[in-house]
Amino acid sequence: MEIELTVHDQGDRLDRWLSQQLDQMSRSHLQKLIEQGNIHLNNQICTNKKTKVNEGDYLLVFVPPPQPLELKPEPIPLDILYEDDSLIIINKAAGLVVHPAPGHSTGTLVHGLLHHCPNLAGIGGVQRPGIVHRLDKDTTGAIVVAKTDYAHQHLQAQLKAKTARREYLGVVYGVPQSKLDNNHNQGTINLPIGRHRVDRQKMAVVPVEKGGRDAVTHWKIVERLGNYSLMEFRLETGRTHQIRVHSSYIGHPILGDRVYSSGKSVGVNLSGQALHAYKLILEHPVTGETVEAIAPLPDELTKLLTVLRQKST
């Protein structure tokens, strides 16, 4: 596949600019394409990711076809919320990594999907067959996987156009307030997110001019629980750790988040952050009908809410 691009702004370093234009590709993937000579800048091969692009520059991006998959299917139990010939929606459990990564070469959702859907190999990429979007390892809930190339492209386009909706429930410390709402119980966090400058394993609020990418999270208080709040989050963008980073930045981190909060105990032994992707709404890529998947709350989150309700009365 070839992608033609023209720079219409002041430009930036090559890998950063490409990642802003091609949301469907990770920055690391684009860096590999650059290193492998798959990027032509003004009809010349460019292998330096730090090369600055300027207004008027013409780029040609060559994306090699997916290579034969070498991952071995594994009989991992899957909680299926919806499935047909085009897509499957899973209620992901806590602790389940979505796709292979350093330190997680086996036992991922992808391995389980390959066992359940033998024809999934090659869809959308070698290490992430069919994966349209991610959920963090310890975040539970609904995640959609495409079974065909057409469905994969269609679903990714919906996420990019913001026509697909992803809604989360999470428990945060304190009670957020918004100056834009008379009741102070709903608002929007519009802050760019990028890689943390010191700890490269973390994300952070980073200015766009320093590599941050636009990130918008809409929030609403569902229930006040004493010194805690049950929140509903709706993602307009899908940056890595977006809800966790935004919540922490405004001073109301997600309970149980060992990366972006203190992680102090609240009387319930949480295996991860108290964040659950409870609703996924999208357009079926073939029929055009609306598909709405609701993922039941995991037992840990149900128990946490029960404990906090008892403490707040």
Catalytic annotation, residues: 136
What are the distances in angstroms from CA 16 to CA 33, 42, 200, 211, 246? 13, 18, 16, 7, 22
Q: How many Å apart are CA 195 and CA 56, to the nearest integer?
A: 28
d(CA 303, CA 301): 5
Backbone φ and ψ of 110, nearest 5°: -60, -45
Contact (Cβ atoms closer than 8 angstroms) between residue 44 and residue 37: no
Q: Write the DSSP symbol of residue 133.
A: S
Torsion of CA 14, 15, 21, 25, to 10 degrees: 150
How far from 91 is each of 94, 139, 153, CA to CA, in Å? 10, 10, 22
With a CB cutoff of 8 Å and minimum separation 6, the contacts of 101 are none
DSSP element (H, E) containing 154: helix 149-161
Q: Which of 202, 204, 177 is nearest to 191 (CA)?
A: 204
Q: What is the DSSP letter of 72?
A: P
Is the separation of the CB atoms in 101 and 26 below 8 Å?
no
For residue 213 the two structure tokens come to 């990418």
Angle at 196 between CA 144 and CA 263, to 5 degrees: 75
Please give the helix or strand (H or E) that residue 248 lies within, else none: helix 242-249
- Tokens 């090559």 locate to 14
